[in-house]
Amino acid sequence: MEEQKLITRLQEAIEHAKTSTFYQKHLLQKHIETLEDFKNIPFLTKDELRNHSPFGLLAVRKEKLVQYHESSGTTGEPISIWYSEQDLQNIVNRTNETAVFFSKNDTMIVRFPYAMSIIAHTMQDTGKSNKTCIIPADSRTSITPMTRIIELLRKCETTILSCMSLHAIMLAEVAINQGLDPKVDFPHLRAICTAGEPITSYRRNLIKDIWGVPIFDNYGMTETGTIMVDCMYHHLHPALDDFYIEVLEDDFKTSTKQGEIGNLVITTLNKSATPMIRYKTGDTVKVQEELCQCGKQIYEIHGRKELLWKVKGRQFDIWDLEGMISPLSSRKFWAAGTRDHVLYVVIERENTSDYVDCHYLDLLRDQYGIEIKIYIVEKGALYDRQEPLSFGMKGKPKYILTQHELDYILNSID
C-alpha cells in the first residue's frame, strides 16, 4: 500500500477506535502524519483487553453486533470480542483468498470447536458462501469422536477436511487402526485446511505424506479473525488491505530484518466492532527474504512467545523442534522439556525398529551448541488411546513438558 494512503488508513482506524471508552483514554488526542508518528502510539496488550472486557473496546452501537466470541483463555482470563455483520463478511472475504478454492461441488467437515472461538464459524461461513456443503463436527463433543469423523469422511464422500494440524495426524492414526489407508480409502478427499496452531513446513510435508492431499493453512485469532491464508504455493500471506503488520524485536521499538523472527503486532484497518491498534498478539513471526512464486512476501508463524524451550540462553521454537525430528522415522507425536541445561525431546514410537542414532545426536549438539537427548517412547506415553472418545478432544495441543511430566517419562524409561 502506498505510504500516504496507509497513513490515512491508520489515522482513520485511530479515529474509529476512539469511539470506544477504552481508546478515548488510551489514545487521547493521538494524530499521525508519518509512520514514525504511528510508532509513538501505545501498544494494546492482552491484559488491557481482559481488564476492559466485555464492552470497553466496543466501537459500534450494540444494535450492530451480530456475534460474540471469547479467546480460549489458555494464557489467562478470556478476552471479549464483538463482531458486526460487516466484520464477519470481511473475515469470509479474507478466508476466501485461500487457494483451496471452495465450491458447490465440495463437502467439508469442520473439525474445530464451535463454542467461543471463531475459526469453526469462519470455515463454515466461508464454505457456505461458496455453496459448499458443511458437516459441523465439533472437536469438543463426544458426539463426534475421531472414529465418527473417519466414518463421515467415507460415507459422505467428504472432499475437504478442516481441522488443527495435529488432529489431521491423529485422524490418520485412527483410520490406520481401523485397517484403512489414508491415501487410498478416502478417494474423494482433495484437501486439508488447517488452523488453530502454527504449522511448520515439516509438519505440512508429514500430513501431505500421510493423506496424499495438499494442505492449506489459515492464520488468525479470535481477536481479529483470519489474518493470513495460503496461496497456491502453500505459503502464508497477510491481508494487507485489512491489517497493518509490524514485526518487532524484543525491545518493541526496532523492526526485525527480513529472515529474522520477531514479535507480531497487528492494527486493524477496517472499522471493526472491536478495533485493535498496535495489538501485541504474543505470537512470533518470520518474514522471509525471498518472495513467494506468487510475488508476495512469505510469512512463517513461529508460535506463542511464551511457548519456547530455553537452554543456556538459546531459544527453541516449534520450527526448531520439528526440524530436529523430521529426519527420524518416528515424528508424528512429540513433546519436549528442559532440565539441567539439556533439551529433551520425547517421541512416540511408530515402528518397532525405530531408534535414534547417536551420531545424529552428535550432529545436533554441534549444530546448536547444547546437549540434546531424543527418546523414543511407547505409543500412548503422550496421547492416551485407551479411551477412544477422549483421543483428540483435548484443548490446544501441548508440546511443552512440565518438570513433573518430564521426570515421570524419564523415570519410566530408566
Q: List, for residues 5-46, the tens digit of each pLDDT value.
A: 999 999 999 999 999 999 999 997 778 999 999 999 999 999
Question: Beta strands of 11-163 (E only): which ranges?
Answer: 65-70, 80-84, 107-111, 133-136, 160-163
Average pLDDT, stretch 73-90?
Answer: 86
- Tell me what the pLDDT averaged over the chain comes to: 94
Q: Give me the phi and psi of 89, to 5 degrees please.
A: -65, -35
What residues does each domain of the chain span? 3-88+236-285, 309-413
Average pLDDT, stretch 144-148?
Answer: 93
Instruction: Look up the CATH number of domain 309-413.
Output: 3.30.300
How far from the centroid of its chain's Cα atoms is residue 259's Cα? Answer: 20
Q: What gap in Å lies between CA 359 and CA 219, rounded to an integer?
A: 37
pLDDT at 291 over 90: yes
Residue 76 confidence (pLDDT):
60
Q: Give me the phi and psi of 195, to 5 degrees please.
A: -170, 175
User: With the CA atoms of 260, 97, 106 and 199 taken in that order, what torsion angle do they form, in degrees rounded to the nearest 10?
Assistant: 10
CA within 13 Å, CB half, 406:
17
Q: Give me the phi and psi of 263, to 5 degrees please.
A: -90, 130
Dihedral over Cα of 360, 363, 365, 368: its sign: negative
In sequence order, which residues have a C-beta less than 8 Å from that of residue 24 and are 6 or more positions away? Answer: 18
User: With the CA atoms of 321, 324, 330 and 336 taken in that order, what torsion angle do they form, in degrees rounded to the nearest 10?
Assistant: -30
76 C-beta neighbours (distance < 10 Å), count: 11
Q: Is the omega angle on the peptide bond into residue 187 within 30 degrees of 0, that is, cis?
A: no
Which region holds residue 192: left if phi is over 0, alpha if psi is between -120 and 50, else beta? Answer: beta
Residue 412 confidence (pLDDT):
85
Whole-model pTM: value is 0.95
Q: What gap in Å lies between CA 336 and CA 409, rounded to an integer?
A: 11
> Which stretch of DSSP H or E encloses residue 263?
strand 261-268
Greater confidence (183 vs 410) lies with 183
Q: What gap in Å lies between CA 306 and CA 308, rounded to an integer?
A: 6
% the chain with pLDDT above 90? 87
Average pLDDT, stretch 245-251?
Answer: 97
Do residues 305 and 299 lie in contact, with contact meaning Cβ atoms separated by under 8 Å? no
% the chain with pLDDT above 70? 97
Q: What gap in Å lies between CA 204 and CA 225, rounded to an integer?
A: 22
Question: What confidence category does residue 130 fall into, taking pLDDT thresholds of 50, 70 and 90?
Answer: very high
The top-level CATH class assigned to 3-88+236-285 is alpha beta
pLDDT at 75 over 60: no
Overall residue count recorded for the chain in this entry: 414
Q: How far apart are the first and last CA of the chain?
A: 58
Of the candidates 158, 185, 160, the residue with the CA atom closest to the CA atom of residue 99: 160
pLDDT at 369 over 60: yes
pLDDT at 73 over 70: no
pLDDT at 283 over 80: yes
